[in-house]
Structure 1
Amino acid sequence: MSNKQDGVTTTASQAIRQDGLGQAQPPHAPSPDHTPTEASRSIHPDEAVPAHWGRYLVAPRPFGEGITSEILQDLITFLEEDTDGLILDHIDLPSRTGGESHRRCPPIVVVAMPDSRAQALASNPRLIVERDQPLLHTDVPMPAALGIVEPAHAPFLADCGEINVHVVGPNAVPVEEAHIWAVGTTGTTHAVTGRDGRAQLKLSADLPATIRTLHVRPAQGYWPARIDRPFQTGTGGETTISLLSLVDTFRGFPDEPLTGWGIQAMRLDRLPASHRGSGARVALLDAGVSTSHPDLKDIVTKGRDFTTAPERDTWRIDATGRGTWCAGIIAAADNGTGITGIAPEAEIHALKLFPKGRVSDLLRALDHCTTERIDIAQINITYQMPSQLVSWKILDLATAGTVTIAPAGDTPVTLFHTAALPGVLSVGALTRSDQGLRPAPYSPIATDLHAPGTDLITTGHLGGYTAASGTALAAAHITSLAALLLTGHRQLRSHINCGTRVHHLHTLLLTASRPRHPQHTYRLPDAYTAFTDYPTEPVSRAPGY
């Protein structure tokens, strides 16, 4: 790539050099931990990186005549000559975009280097330098959630003891693989029940009497539970928690199919049976999907684990359960039992990014969505600090025709970084009560849309069915409706231009979500309205436009 300045044509690499980096920051001497060799001019494995170095994303800042693949080689050549850094990988431009002139995100090089060297590169106005952050399943650190600013200031008692919990179902049947959290005044401890339904939670800074709540989340078959002040007498001992089974709640389930309350709340059950999402390609960017589940084994047949070698099929293993929950809401098989997904004929791609994933893996997954012509990408993970590169990549994805949806996050304080990006539809969760629907207490209010997200029956990652909650499940409802609209709405199908299609879908969802009551603070899409009342004018606020 070349750029003209004052009548002189320079390559991008020369422009980077001429911007004064070499004068403002002399080239570093070789690090004592790294002797430059010919091998340093190729991509290095993570194991070759000195422990005190950081991982960074380095990219040319877009300028002049646009972005081409040639600039990547110029940048690699520039970085290869630096003795204080190792190139770990590079992310070129995807093969399918709206044309080079429409690309916002430049090619990126993943580099390991000392923090001081990264700071020197970041001072060059021609470069963008960001940390290659770890991806997070949630953005709420537990100490912050408990109001503890500095965990080291919390007391530590040498002999706090432990609490013993026995989780059972009807007829005292032990509940295996149930997650238990004990929330105290100074911290939280966690354990998982064994085959006998028992778990022991060791306390570090609390006594049994100071435990505020016990939270139990079974893996399948039962409703979750919350017990307030479980040890008011001050003694630990063993406390037994009895869970209510799903079978006792829904007569005939799972042999008899169940229609979820979320489907009814969005009036999805009012749509013709022919609306099944056939032909829609949906990508779930999460921790994998358990494809061994009978309702998913023939539905989720494509995927990739971006945290390991591409040929491995570890994307079929769900590390957290959430990807399987969302897959069930969207596309669980219509086999006459259990649950049926809202768009059961959609094609689901499971893109695994957690655990061990980084922002560079997210960028690659987004490129994968472009090349695989994904219609809807639901991003369930986040990261700690804002990323300009991810923001640009999302906008490029929209230009290529992919709708991006993200859960708002399970804290009422702030949005996931991914949900706050331009071009992304952010989704909060609703819960229901005798007074009707309302935003869930864990969900942010300031989102583009809200959808059912509490106590939803869906597929469990260990088999069977589970009652799950969270803004990711709310986002799965919006993803499902988007799949139905893209494949069954006459006006949307007629928009050949990819970017126009994305814009019209945003407008349609927002228009069909106008508050039903002046006091409502949320936008819940009405599926029947979305299909019958196509807006003649765009709404005032469509994400990213």
Structure 2
Amino acid sequence: MPEVGSKKDKAQTQKYILGKPSITPANVDEVDLEKLSVELAGNVAAFAATADGDTDKTAPAFEVMRHPDTNDIHTLTAELTEEGADKLKSKYKGALLVEPDHQLFMQTAESTFEMSQLPITAANSSNELKITLKVVDENGAPVASARVDLAGEVWSDQQMTNAQGRVALKLFGETLDSLTELRIKPALDHWSRIIQQPAFAAKENTVTVTSLPASLDAPQVNLWGNDAIGNVEMPASDRIRVAVIDSGFADGHPDVVAAGGRGFAVEGNPEEDWKTDDSGHGTHVAGTISALNNGIGMRGVVDRVDVFALRVFPGASFSKLIAAIDEAIALKVDVVNMSLGGANQSDLLQQRMQAAREAGILLVAAAGNSGGTVMYPAAYPEVMAVSAIGKFGTFPEDSFHSRHVTDHVTSDGSCFAARFTCRGQEIDVCGPGVAIVSTLPGPGFGSYDGTSMASPHVAGVAAVLLAQRPDIHGMPRNGARSNTLFQAVLGSCQSLGLPAELQGHGMPTLTADNISAPPSEDGMDVIADLIKKALDAAKTIKETT
């Protein structure tokens, strides 16, 4: 029997991205990435040969990334030990950038809903407190799959409600009088709820949660985010193309559709993997941009748009984002939304941001939710960095959204800078990012917070402005085009009276300039028929789920 050792005794590998700097230092030969790729491929083959069937050995990952237009290699990814990375740096000196392939994260504030309290006493059955409760909606119907968190002075428990809306929680070392907070987070279609110092009966307990304004069973509603940025229809024009680099897309949702996509997150079929969205984050973002103007549910910012879902989560990293940016260039999209970010910067990633801008693409990204400095890629000057604001009166006071309210209030007193939003001189604009209702897998709707939610509002504004401005839309796909659209978005901003580090130039606001005439009576009949069909379809979906 083998002796247990430490992983520290083995050479640990991690993924790196390799590429050339924008400017090769003087007196150093420019690296040939084609030759380097052959060298690295040979190392992988040699490793496989020495492994000789050893199942404990896995061949190091290696990938070549090529420019969509020229097919030239611009980035390599490789599994390397720290020593191997240092050898490459030493061999090629400043002619080769060797950077860790750092992770990227979704920029929602959902993680702050988690209980922070941990058990600090030993558990035993003699001091166990059992609480059972039922979560229902305003009509008394059970709410299934709601996350229920209950905390006391020394213990907390988290469970999910069953199909009957019921849940049982166990806390040790607590009494009915020592419980401090109850949190309810429904999976779909309802507001969250927080009850301080909950008063429970010894046996049966009921908690009521209220429905969101958007529903597949009800007429379409205007949401506060759309109203804030200007809820206008797009003029008749060529369809705008928007890439959503995120967690995928819930294909089949009746209130939002995607024109296509590609998966980069998992091993499998990249032509199909994008149609999966385990977290719901990407579907929520896509709905904010392009939920259908079909008479049910909600409406997105943009009417006539082709959305392409480029899936990089789970496991998003620099290399996956680079691959997704390459795909966006190949698809010739007009706008890219990136509701993701991380604290680490990368010269190689920034190069691909520059390449996208030179391809005429406007890049929009979430500033981050740490409350600190702006995260990457939003912090790059090539990217439009979006901070988040909330609006008073758009969410229940006992919902978790209320915890994001700050004293940074807009000059008219209607809105506030979100507590979580990152801030700094890199902020270009702000957008609605608290209590944002949008589409989720299920199908249904959910209310999220985050700069992840603010960014797609701005991406949507950019798409509408592009449709309103044929002089920009018709420009050659180059840096001048993306820069002109960037400036058009900044030019649409209205100051909210917040500090520049929180609002940038302000909030982009749409007007009805260059909008086509209202539909004729015959056109209204067609729209009414489409609405009826959409309602019938939603009813069928509900009956079959």
- Relative to the length of structure 2, the TM-score reads 0.73
TM superposition shift of 1:280: 1.0
Helix, strand or coil for the counterpart of 2:66? coil
TM superposition shift of 1:183: 6.6
- 1:75 matched residue in structure 2: 36
2:476 is equivalent to residue 470 of structure 1: no
Check the 8 A contact 2:20/2:31 in 1, yes or no: no
- 2:62 matched residue in structure 1: 89
Helix, strand or coil for the counterpart of 2:376? coil
2:157, 2:373 → 1: CA distance? 24
- 1:334 matched residue in structure 2: 293
CA offsets per residue over residues 461-513 of structure 1, 9 Å max, x none?
21133333322221111111111111221442353352112111221222221
- 2:422 matched residue in structure 1: 444
1:287, 1:344 → 2: CA distance? 23
- 2:523 matched residue in structure 1: none
2:76 is equivalent to residue 109 of structure 1: yes
Check the 8 A contact 2:62/2:79 in 1, yes or no: no
1:531, 1:204 → 2: CA distance? 65
2:271 is equivalent to residue 306 of structure 1: no
C-alpha root-mean-square deviation of aligned residues, in Å? 3.9
2:417 is equivalent to residue 457 of structure 1: no
AA aligned to 2:333 is: I
TM superposition shift of 1:349: 0.6
- 1:364 matched residue in structure 2: 323
TM superposition shift of 1:77: 3.2
**Aligned to 2:88, which of 110, 121, 124?**
121
**Aligned to 1:393, which of 352, 364, 371?**
352
Q: Which runs of 5+ in 1 are unaligned?
A: 1-49, 101-105, 533-545
**Aligned to 1:227, which of 185, 192, 195?**
195
Helix, strand or coil for the counterpart of 1:342? coil
2:210 is equivalent to residue 244 of structure 1: yes
**Aligned to 2:122, which of 152, 157, 161?**
157
TM superposition shift of 1:111: 1.6
Helix, strand or coil for the counterpart of 2:472? helix
- 2:247 matched residue in structure 1: 287
CA offsets per residue over residues 22-46 of structure 1, 9 Å max, x none?
xxxxxxxxxxxxxxxxxxxxxxxxx
Check the 8 A contact 1:183/1:214 in 2, yes or no: yes
AA aligned to 1:217 is: K
2:490, 2:156 → 1: CA distance? 39
**Change beyond 3 A, Cα 1:339–1:54:** same
Aligned-residue sequence identity (percent) comes to 23
AA aligned to 1:259 is: N
2:110, 2:448 → 1: CA distance? 21
**Change beyond 3 A, Cα 1:70–1:487:** farther
CA offsets per residue over residues 220-254 of structure 1, 9 Å max, x none?
221222223336x8x997754310123xx68x984
**Change beyond 3 A, Cα 1:58–1:201:** farther
- 2:488 matched residue in structure 1: 508
2:198 is equivalent to residue 268 of structure 1: no
AA aligned to 1:91 is: V
AA aligned to 1:335 is: N
Helix, strand or coil for the counterpart of 2:460? helix
TM superposition shift of 1:219: 2.5
2:151, 2:377 → 1: CA distance? 28
1:242, 1:141 → 2: CA distance? 21
2:136 is equivalent to residue 168 of structure 1: yes
TM superposition shift of 1:294: 0.8
Check the 8 A contact 1:146/1:186 in 2, yes or no: no
CA offsets per residue over residues 348-378 of structure 1, 9 Å max, x none?
1111111134322221111111111111111
The count of aligned residue pairs is 462
2:101 is equivalent to residue 132 of structure 1: yes
CA offsets per residue over residues 87-107 of structure 1, 9 Å max, x none?
52323332238x99xxxxx72
Check the 8 A contact 2:312/2:321 in 1, yes or no: yes
**Change beyond 3 A, Cα 1:72–1:324:** same
TM superposition shift of 1:139: 8.9
TM superposition shift of 1:323: 1.4
**Change beyond 3 A, Cα 1:442–1:241:** farther
**Change beyond 3 A, Cα 1:81–1:304:** closer
Check the 8 A contact 1:276/1:484 in 2, yes or no: no
- 1:322 matched residue in structure 2: 281
- 1:18 matched residue in structure 2: none
Check the 8 A contact 2:286/2:307 in 1, yes or no: yes
1:211, 1:480 → 2: CA distance? 44
Helix, strand or coil for the counterpart of 1:56? strand
AA aligned to 1:506 is: F
AA aligned to 2:62 is: D
Check the 8 A contact 1:277/1:343 in 2, yes or no: no
1:140, 1:204 → 2: CA distance? 29
Check the 8 A contact 2:108/2:449 in 1, yes or no: no
AA aligned to 2:222 is: T
TM superposition shift of 1:425: 1.0
Check the 8 A contact 2:350/2:380 in 1, yes or no: yes
Check the 8 A contact 2:225/2:432 in 1, yes or no: yes
- Relative to the length of structure 1, the TM-score reads 0.73
- 1:34 matched residue in structure 2: none
Check the 8 A contact 2:386/2:430 in 1, yes or no: yes
- 1:37 matched residue in structure 2: none
Check the 8 A contact 1:259/1:339 in 2, yes or no: yes
2:311 is equivalent to residue 345 of structure 1: no
**Change beyond 3 A, Cα 1:81–1:209:** farther
Helix, strand or coil for the counterpart of 1:457? strand
The 5-angstrom pairing of residues 5-20 of structure 1 reads none
Helix, strand or coil for the counterpart of 1:241? strand
